[in-house]
Structure 1
Amino acid sequence: MKKMLNSLYITRQESYLHKDRETIVIKNGDDKLGQFPSLTIGSITCFGQVSVSPFLMGYCAEKGIGLSFYTEYGRFLARVQGKQTGNVLLRRAQYRWADNPERAVSIARLMVAAKIANSRSVLLRELRNHGENPPLSQAAERLAISLRRVKHAKTVAEAMGMEGDAAATYFAVFNELIRDSGFAFGGRIRRPPTDPVNALLSFVYSLITQECMSALQGVGLDPYVGYLHQDRPGRASLALDLLEEFRASWADRFVLTLINRRQIQLKDFIQEASGAVRLTDDARKALLVSYQDRKQAEVMHPYLQEQVPIGLLPHSQALLLARHIRGDTEFYTPYLVK
């Protein structure tokens, strides 16, 4: 299993990163903020006005250190990518499968089923921990019906339609999962998020999408050619496909934990003139620290039957997907939580 490396999150504005021998140095003006051995770093994420030396960019690309750039508000901008890894035959098989409707829907069905099952598990977990709740029970029953239906989807479009219906059912009761914190959720709003809960969800989804991109590239797959999400210039379709397995089980549960444990509060958000809502700098730092801690936590992988850090789950699933496309396994096994 791949080793879990550290992630650097650079949030201080006007910071500058450069390479010094085999270390990564972070400076702000004349002040040195930190210096870290590059061998211990798996990814660097920069928010806002953060500069990186061209030599460090090249070094990160060469060594496979992920380097991503976001706006100060958490919207993804770009990432530095080095040479494509893996066997070209794997990517050619990936492209052929994407162009084959039967192959594509066989994978799309499984990814949608995993998303629905994991969403239902979040609701059932709440019912186990906090007692009867009719709206949650009814939603869990509807998701069970959706789960049975998606097995019979004959096209990717049909699977996507079922995924949309299931997501509407799930988010219709999402507010029931938020307990006595002043937060309220009236529905999923993406571009831009106009309330604190949606701002948190969008931010965490964006972070995990980049984890999925790195994982797919690491096993030799092209993150821009997917099976569930259609090809679109600039959209990492396969990374978004993989993200579906982690939305409820990782991102949503993490956001609910931050809110329900009052690690993030309403005072930690700023509303822009445009109506968009974003985290304050201090709150974003606190979220990233918690996110990194969460990545280190280990869970039992239901298929591999071994303890895996949550941060390596995208790598595990990317590896399973690559094995399936190569023909090493008959089926792709999506990630499911109990």
Structure 2
Amino acid sequence: MQTLFLEKTGITLRTERACLLIYQQGKHIGSLPLKELERVVASPQVVLAAGVLGVFCEHNIALLVVNHSNPKRTAYLSAPMHSDVHRRMRQYALYQDQTFRTHQARRLVFLKLSRQYRLLAKQQDSRPDLRHVLFKAMETLRHLLEDIKTDGETLTLERLRGVEGAAGGAYFAAYSRLFPPALGFEHRHRRPPTDPVNACLSLSYTLLHHEAADALRAVGLDPALGCYHDLYYQRDSLACDLLEPIRPWIDAWVFGLFHSHRLRPEDFKHENGGCLLQAAGKQRFYETYRRQAPAFRRLLRQYARMAEHTVMNDESQ
């Protein structure tokens, strides 16, 4: 059973006998036996008749319509309960296993800190003026990574969050120094973002959080049930988990936006204590994001498939 991803414009879906037919700009480009499909993940531009939905229902195929430009319009049409319910039942059972949760959370945090370390290390040669600042943060990260390695089996989720918080403080103290003082970026500030860099970080994290939730739905997992992040009202905690090790790569991308002068201070405005992108800057941000998003999306899908494999095989060790 497989998932079919359809994102190109001009795609039309039809069914004939026991096959799903795929057309682009009116030309037939492929077909798949319906019995081999578990779900279809499509962009809002994909065209299909209501009758196709009935055929999907008949063959227990789920449909996820992913709207990247307007995440609130993302829609999930579930097929009648089939294998997904057993998958989620295993996920719910594993959530009750504190050892399993801690083991998975430790992997996420270790990967995140490792990538934070590499991002700072990459800047050492090009920023000799910041060698001491970068080295100090990297040493903190290195010691915390060693703590996770040596104390891993005894680390509770609460202690692990403390380690991740200490790493974040050291990391952002150095990361913020990579940007020109004119941007006013001194530390991570979320609600509301108070400067251009924080505004771009928050927007990027939000966009990719939705991507992570969609990737998890596409493999039949409940995005709300995380390992590292606890249950919280109206929060997709497993999507938050999935995003953690990718955050340093998002940070690197945001750094590139300003380092290349794609975005400048004049592209932002301050309003009601927060910092917002203005129209011209927003257009350039989204143009660049659309080019970068497929790479992040592929990675999140890979992580989602790994999470599904872990759930189904109970790989807690």
Q: What TM bracket, shorter-length normalisation?
A: 0.7 to 0.9
Distance 1:140 1:5 in 2: 42
> Per-residue deviation at 1:316?
0.3
Separation in 1, partners of 2:184, 2:203:
17
| 1:184 alignment partner AA | G
Query: Structure 2: any 5+ residue segments left out of the alignment?
Result: 14-24, 30-40, 55-60
User: How far apart, in 1, do the equivalents of 2:287 and 2:83 lie?
Assistant: 32
Does 1:111 pair with 2:108?
yes
- 1:80 aligns with one of 63, 71, 75: 75
User: In structure 2, do the counterparts of structure 1 residues 148 and 172 end up closer, same or farther at CA, with 3 Å as the change threshold?
Assistant: same
Q: 3-state DSSP class of the match of 1:87? A: helix
Distance 2:307 2:93 in 1: 15
Q: Is the 8 A contact 2:64 2:75 kept in 1?
A: no
Residue identity opposite 1:133 in structure 2? R
2:131 equivalent to 1:145? no
The residue number in structure 1 matching 2:276 is 278
Which structure dedicates a bigger proportion of its chain to helix? 2
Give SS of 1:285's match: helix
* Matched residue, 1:168: 169
Q: Which consecutive residues of structure 1, in runs of 5 or more, have no partner in the other structure?
A: 9-19, 24-35, 46-54, 71-75, 297-308, 332-338
1:294 alignment partner AA: Q
Secondary structure at the residue paired with 1:263?
coil
Q: Deviation digits for residues 251-304 of structure 1, max 9, x if unmatched? A: 1011000011000111111211x21111112222211111121234xxxxxxxx
Once the two structures are overlaid, the 10-residue window that deviates more, 284-293 or 122-131, is: 122-131
How many Å separate the matches in 2 of 1:220 and 1:175?
38
Three-state SS of the structure 2 residue aligned to 1:64 is strand
Q: Identity of counterpart residues, as a percentage?
A: 27
Shift of 1:224: 0.3
User: Which residue in 1 is equivalent to 2:190?
Assistant: 190
Deviations 1:37-74, CA, capped at 9 Å, x for gaps: 9x9x94469xxxxxxxxx9xx99x9642213676xxxx
CA contact 1:69–1:79 (8 Å) conserved in 2? no
Task: Indicate the larger mover: 320-329 or 133-142.
Answer: 320-329
Letter in 2 for 1:120: Y
Larger gyration radius, structure 1 or structure 2: 2
TM alignment of 1:148-159, pairs within 5 A: 148-151=146-149, 152=152, 153-159=154-160
Superposition map of 1:176-255 within 5 A? 176-178=177-179, 180=180, 182-249=182-249, 251-255=250-254
- DSSP 3-state at the match of 2:184: coil
Q: Who is 2:309 aligned against?
A: 323
- What secondary structure sits across from 2:284 in the alignment? helix
| TM-score when normalising by structure 2 | 0.77
Deviations 1:165-210 (A, max 9, x none): 11111111112222x4832311111111111111010000001101
